[in-house]
């Protein structure tokens, strides 16, 4: 699950070292690095050959800046994006800090500043719906006309269709917001995974006999509130798990949390460790129970159902 190879990270306007220059580049948000993205990145690696392959991406997401939608959450963190790019043999993740100033750059200014000066690229790999620069002026037709002037070859990747529709980050967000982690996995190409460090909780899980790892997710998108069957990677080892997303209504909780009970895990502290939680299926909605005993009974049922599902995986 966790890549042993992570793409290197650099940020605009840094001019990258020679080992990353004269290669092939693709550009986009690449949030979630789903099957559609993977389709592009495999073509990128093919075009690059033995030369460097680079992904140019943006942070924060342009929607958060242009539409001032601070509520847009990320499917993947920068670290996860770099790891997934590394898994797909991308050498460099080049981040452009997206601001109003960047949004007003003309397409030709972006080409010169990023592709020519900072990265010195020879090939650009794009999807059919590419649009870069102010007002999305840098369309496919525009790039075909302009790029030869800079000695850059253009490679167009056709749309990647899954189940009759285009694999896209918007659809993945919708599925996760409905708690449909199985269908989301079909678009991502593997289970939706949250990688984060374990923080301190209120230790109620331990008191109930089901200790949990409390995961800080920050501005990450997580599935709809409820109980899920998961697999968890800890220090390179995999375990089955049951995760709860919600506010703990039985205890009148308020802030939303991701809490993970790892099955058959040795009794050791996970505080501060980075773990990887992969969502396999949804068991039920979050519920308020009349007593702690009722809650304990339901958790026992959840654990047994999770064991049965994990055995079938």
Residue ranges per structural domain of the chain: 8-166, 191-312
Domain spanning 191-312: which superfamily? Riboflavin kinase-like (2.40.30.30)
Q: What is the pLDDT of residues 255-279, one digit of tens each?
A: 688 999 999 987 677 888 899 999 9
User: Hey, is 97 helix, strand or coil?
Assistant: strand
Q: What is the pLDDT of residues 188-226, one digit of tens each?
A: 999 999 988 898 766 555 556 788 899 877 778 999 999
The sign one gets for the Cα dihedral 198, 199, 202, 207 is positive
- On the 0-12 / 13-18 / 19+ scale of CB atoms within 10 A, 72 is middle
User: What is the C-alpha to C-alpha distance for residues 86 and 96, in angstroms, rounded to an integer?
Assistant: 19
- On the 0-12 / 13-18 / 19+ scale of CB atoms within 10 A, 151 is exposed
Given a cut of 80, whether residue 251 has pLDDT beyond it is no
Q: Percent of the chain scored above 70 by pLDDT? A: 91
User: What is the C-alpha to C-alpha distance for residues 43 and 49, in angstroms, rounded to an integer?
Assistant: 10
Q: What is the DSSP letter of 162?
A: E
Given a cut of 60, whether residue 4 has pLDDT beyond it is no
Per-residue burial over 264-296, b = 16 or more CB atoms within 10 Å of its CB, e = otherwise: ebeeeebeeeebbbbbbbbbeebeeeeeeeebe
The sign one gets for the Cα dihedral 213, 208, 256, 279 is positive
pTM above 0.75, yes or no: yes
User: Hey, is 47 helix, strand or coil?
Assistant: helix
Q: What per-residue confidence (pLDDT) applies to 288?
A: 83
Domain spanning 8-166: which superfamily? HUPs (3.40.50.620)
Q: What per-residue confidence (pLDDT) applies to 250?
A: 54
Q: What is the DSSP letter of 255?
A: S
Q: What per-residue confidence (pLDDT) applies to 227?
A: 96
Sheet holding 53-59, edge to edge: 8-11, 92-97, 53-59, 24-27, 123-127, 153-157
User: Hey, is 210 helix, strand or coil?
Assistant: coil
Q: Do domains 8-166 and 191-312 have the same CATH topology?
A: no
The sign one gets for the Cα dihedral 190, 58, 114, 127 is positive
Q: What is the pLDDT of residues 128-160, one digit of tens each?
A: 989 999 999 999 999 999 999 999 999 999 888
């Amino acid at each position: 699950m966790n890549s042993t190879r992570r793409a290197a990270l650099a940020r605009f306007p840094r001019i990258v070292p020679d080992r990353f220059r004269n290669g092939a580049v693709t550009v986009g948000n690449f949030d979630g690095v789903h099957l559609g993205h993977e389709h592009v990145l495999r073509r990128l690696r093919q075009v690059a050959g033995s030369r460097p392959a680079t992904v140019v991406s943006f942070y924060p997401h342009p929607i958060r800046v242009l539409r001032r939608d601070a509520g847009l959450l990320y499917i993947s963190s920068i670290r996860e994006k770099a790891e997934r790019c590394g898994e797909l043999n991308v050498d460099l993740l080049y981040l452009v800090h997206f601001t109003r100033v960047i949004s007003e750059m003309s397409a030709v200014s972006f080409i010169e500043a990023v592709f020519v000066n900072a990265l010195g690229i020879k090939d650009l790999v794009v999807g059919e719906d590419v649009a870069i620069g102010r007002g999305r002026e840098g369309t496919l037709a525009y790039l075909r006309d302009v790029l030869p002037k800079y000695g850059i070859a253009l490679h167009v990747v056709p749309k990647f269709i899954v189940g009759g529709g285009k694999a896209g980050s918007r659809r993945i967000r919708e599925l996760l917001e409905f708690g449909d982690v199985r269908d989301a996995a079909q678009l991502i190409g593997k289970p939706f995974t949250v990688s984060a460090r374990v923080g301190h909780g209120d230790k109620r899980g331990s008191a109930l006999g089901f200790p949990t790892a409390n995961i800080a997710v920050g501005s990450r998108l997580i599935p709809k509130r409820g109980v899920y069957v998961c697999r968890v990677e800890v220090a390179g080892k995999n375990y089955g798990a049951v995760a709860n997303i919600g506010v703990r209504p039985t205890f009148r909780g308020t802030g939303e949390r991701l809490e993970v009970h790892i099955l058959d895990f040795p009794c050791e502290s996970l505080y501060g460790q980075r773990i990887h939680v992969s969502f396999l299926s949804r068991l039920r909605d979050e519920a308020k129970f009349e007593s702690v005993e009722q809650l304990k009974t339901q958790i026992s049922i959840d654990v047994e159902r999770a064991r049965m599902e994990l055995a079938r995986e």
